[in-house]
Amino acid sequence: MRVFSASSRHFSDLAVMNAHRFCLPFRTPAAARARAIASALKRLAGRALPGQCALCGNLSQELLCEACDAQYWNEPRLRCATCALPLVASLMRREREDVRVHCAACLASPPAFNDTLALADYRAPLDTLAVELKFRARLAAGETFARHLHAAFEDSDLPVPDVIVPVPLSRARLVARGYNQAWAIARPLARRMSVRGDASIVARVRHTSAQSRLDQQTRRRNVASAFAISGDVRGKHVGVVDDVMTSGATLDALARTLKLSGARRVTNFVALRTPKD
Ligand SMILES: [Zn+2]
Ligand SMILES: [Zn+2]
């Protein structure tokens, strides 16, 4: 299957750069964020050509060549069962793999969601896929994330959600971008899990800007009223999908809103997780 059509590359580099200027991507400190995107774009520049692997540039009819697909996923990493934050190697030696471990932040102040499944850390080279998906409309990256999230879910002992929803974009951002990158992952993930995927249950009623420099309480207040629920989630286990999880404040606010509306359980499915900086 040819996954990289000419139509998926209709954004010029200039348009991409402008998109960056107006749609700040991730809630990391501004300078670090700019560096990360510049470096990911640099890696993309010579590589993301039709018929080439998005990561190494070797010939490939798939988004990733077989070697990259085998190499970069499923890196053994002990993560907090609640928020998927990578935990230190010393813990990994102490704890058995089947024991749920938690980071200090989740123990001190548990978030509203119950579990988070993350594929890998948000860093090179996989961050390239998130940038491709978010800024170059390369929706095949969403399919790739969904395939690996489904495999990770099958390997876990997490219960199957009743419904899967994407973290919504504000209406203005959705219009500007033309698609929701989280839905590009959530839809194929729901299909693979044979679970209903629904992008209309949650709406983003207020856009929240970068908040990495705010403390946790301020972050929570900042996103507290960002979401509105329009479907019936009473008694349901809701799976929430996002491309990148940074502080977790947005997912916490969304889970809080879902639970206030009666959701029984919330599990996050995120492609990439930012390690603590
Ligand atoms: Zn490759
Ligand atoms: Zn945690």
Q: Which pLDDT does position 206 carry in this prediction?
A: 74
Q: Which pLDDT does position 9 carry in this prediction?
A: 36
Q: Which pLDDT does position 2 carry in this prediction?
A: 36
Tokens of 165: 């929803």
How far does the centroid of ligand 1 lie from the alpha carbon of residue 26, in Å? 25
Q: Which pLDDT does position 114 carry in this prediction?
A: 98
**Chain region(s) in the chain for CATH 3.40.50:** 115-273
Strands 227-229 and 202-204: antiparallel
Ligand nearest to the CA of 108: 2
Q: Which pLDDT does position 192 carry in this prediction?
A: 98
Torsion of CA 191, 138, 63, 271, to 10 degrees: -60
How far does the centroid of ligand 1 lie from the alpha carbon of residue 70, in Å? 9
Residue type, 9: R
Q: Which pLDDT does position 215 carry in this prediction?
A: 65
Distance spanning both ends of the chain, measured CA to CA: 39
Q: Are 202 and 233 in contact (CB under 8 A)?
A: no
What residues are neighbours of ligand 1 (ion), with CB under 5 Å?
A: 53, 55-56, 58, 65, 68
How far does the centroid of ligand 2 lie from the alpha carbon of residue 92, in Å? 15
- CA gap 27, 267 in Å, rounded: 21
Q: Which pLDDT does position 5 carry in this prediction?
A: 36
10-residue averages of pLDDT along the chain (277 residues): 37 35 44 66 56 91 90 82 85 58 92 96 92 91 96 95 96 92 98 97 77 61 79 96 94 95 98 86
- CA gap 83, 211 in Å, rounded: 18
Ordered DSSP codes for the chain: -----GGGG-S-HHHHHHHHHHS--SSS-HHHHHHHHHHHHHHHHTT--TTB-TTT--B-SSSS-HHHHHHHS-----B-TTT--B--HHHHHHS-TTS----HHHHHS--S-SEEEEEEES-TTTHHHHHHHHHS--THHHHHHHHHHHHHHHHS-PPPPSEEEEPPPBHHHHHHHSS-HHHHHHHHHHHHHT-EE-SSSEEE-S-----TTS-HHHHHHHHTTSEEE-S--TT-EEEEEEEEESSSHHHHHHHHHHHHTT-SEEEEEEEEEPPP-
How far does the centroid of ligand 1 lie from the alpha carbon of residue 166, in Å? 28
Reported CATH class of domain 115-273? alpha beta
Q: Which pLDDT does position 8 carry in this prediction?
A: 38
The residues, any chain, with a CB within 8 Å of residue 134's CB and separated by 6 or more, are 25, 177, 181, 243
Ligand nearest to the CA of 47: 1
